[in-house]
Each structure stands twice: as structure tokens, then as C-alpha cells.
Structure 1
């Protein structure tokens, strides 16, 4: 169950994206303001994990449902069988993004709140669980990288887009 939650969290982090635009506000002091536009469109599509353990293949598939919702599924296959699966949603409500991760045997999803949004880098956290407490995603070239971690441990993920 912990491996599935790690994988799900990794997917969530991939879902986060932000672009910053700078608008000049003219007043008597001529200040500049930064307007943040958040979307996770870069996450949509099908992704394959490159650094999976031998004998396993892991994938994430993401769709944009609306401007305020993205839906994902993560799964791992071993010897032709699905050995783990998780459903993920990234939802914006009242200007705040939340990552929801649900395993098939759980009644309620685990919630992660957004802690940081930068250009091509996102962090979600949940301090009420042991692992992972932090999910981080970022773009590096054509790949998406992620880590899930707590104070004692960090697991890296690397994904490439597939057709």
C-alpha cells in the first residue's frame, strides 16, 4: 500500500504546473505585480517510469477534465498482471490546489495540499501521514522527475512521455 501511495503522490506532483506573468501596475509609486497562472496541462498524456525496478513497468495517464480538475491513474505491471493501481485527482477550489490519491481498497482518498508552486516545480504535503509527507515534481528537458519523501527517506521517479 505504501508503494502505491508513493506512486500516486509522484503522479500528483507531475500534475502541478505554473506559469508566471508579470504585469506592471502604474500608480504613484510604479509597482510591479506578479500574476500567477496555474495549470497542469503539461502533465496530460501517457507517461512511463524509466527508473522502475527490474521486472516491473509503471505508467501514469493524465486527462484534463476542466480548468480546475485533472484526473490521473497510475499502475504497475509485473509478469503481465497489474500489481498496484491508484486514482489521482488534482482539484482547484477557492484558489487552492489539492492532490487526492485513492487506492482501490480505501474508502476515502488521501489529501495533499499545495505548499509551493514555481515555474516547472511543484510541492504538495500532508504532515498527518508517515510516508510520504512531501511530493515534489519538476520538468527536466523532455522528462518529468519527482520525489516522494519524509524526514528520513526519499524515493526518486523519472518519467518519459509515450504515444
Structure 2
């Protein structure tokens, strides 16, 4: 029962996220030019996702919703024995035409900002070199699955999600 309640909580949290963006210009980028301005569609990240490569005894869920053309809201949580052991709120925003990824856990007062370093039609990479881990967050789609990787030069954690209804 706790799992269903947490899924509902995640959906409500994402739904209730308010639009804070002020601009409507979108950004596209390649590894060499992360601020080139053209229309971007990140809708491939939308939906409710369940991790398929989780550690035994854990279940991780992630939910993303498009708020506007320049903002997506995400929420992630991990369950172990029916209890929530971790959670994160995420926002992809481009208020001034430049995309940033903000990640916040309940322990943090303010979200951590990651700047766009690469953007393709089905992939994005954000970087923050001022923290130890992760320095880089990457999401992409492959064969209908959502994949993600958090890393620094010494460590890498890979995530694979399948869409759930």
C-alpha cells in the first residue's frame, strides 16, 4: 500500500510543480556549442518510469512532466522494504534560452544546478564541476527505455528505466 501511495505522491508532486520560467526561447546544443538557440523538444522524458537495473530489494521510480516549452519537472524516489530511502526533485528549465538541470534532495536547502554541456534529439548531458559527485548527469532514450548515468572521473552509476502506466 505504501508503494501505491508513494506513486500517487510522486505524480501529485510533479503535477503541482509551478511554472517558474520567464522566457520562451529554447536551446539546443552539441558538445561543442551548448548555447546555440533552436527549438528543443524534450518530451521523450515525460512519463512515469521504473528502474529495471536496481539493486536487489530496492525499487526506484522516476516521473517527469512537461510544464511548458521551457520547463520540465521531475521527481524520483527509491523504496526498500516499502519505505522511502531516497528522493529527489528535479527541474529542467531554460528561462533565458539556456537549459539547466536543478536537483534537490530533502537534505539540501537549495537545488544544485547543472549546466547544459550536450543536447541531441534524444539525449542531454549536464555538468557541474564544482561538486565531487556527480559532476555529470546524462539522460537518453534507447529502444523505448529511458537511460541515465551519473558520474565523475572515478565513478559511474547507470540507470535503466521502463515506462509504467
Q: What is the CA distance between 1:119 and its match in structure 2?
A: 2.2
1:104 aligned partner: 106
Q: 2:140 aligns with which of 120, 138, 143?
A: 138
Deviations along 1:88-136, whole A, 9 cap, x unmatched? 1111121100100011121110000000111212110000000110111
* Superposition map of 1:1-163 within 5 A: 36-163=38-165
Please list every run of 5 or more consecutive structure 1 residues that lacks an aligned counterpart in the other structure. 1-16, 20-33
Q: What is the CA distance between 1:35 and its match in structure 2?
A: 7.4
Whole-Å Cα distance in 1 between the matches of residues 138 and 151 of structure 2?
Answer: 9
- Deviant stretches of 4+, over 6 Å: none
Q: What is the CA distance between 1:18 and its match in structure 2?
A: 6.4
Mapped contact 1:18–1:120 kept (Cα < 8 A)? no
Q: What is the CA distance between 1:36 and its match in structure 2?
A: 3.4
Please list every run of 5 or more consecutive structure 2 residues that lacks an aligned counterpart in the other structure. 1-26, 30-35
Secondary structure of the equivalent of 1:152?
Answer: coil
TM-score, length-normalised on structure 1?
Answer: 0.77
Whole-Å Cα distance in 1 between the matches of residues 115 and 136 of structure 2?
Answer: 10
Secondary structure of the equivalent of 2:44?
Answer: helix
Mapped contact 1:91–1:98 kept (Cα < 8 A)? yes
Whole-Å Cα distance in 2 between the matches of residues 137 and 44 of structure 1?
Answer: 12
Whole-Å Cα distance in 2 between the matches of residues 96 and 35 of structure 1?
Answer: 8
Secondary structure of the equivalent of 1:42?
Answer: helix
Change (3 A) 1:66 1:91: same
TM-score, length-normalised on structure 2?
Answer: 0.76
Change (3 A) 1:125 1:35: closer
Secondary structure of the equivalent of 1:137?
Answer: strand
Change (3 A) 1:81 1:125: same
Choose between structure 1 and 2 for higher RCO, CA contacts under 8 A separated by at least 6 residues.
Answer: 1
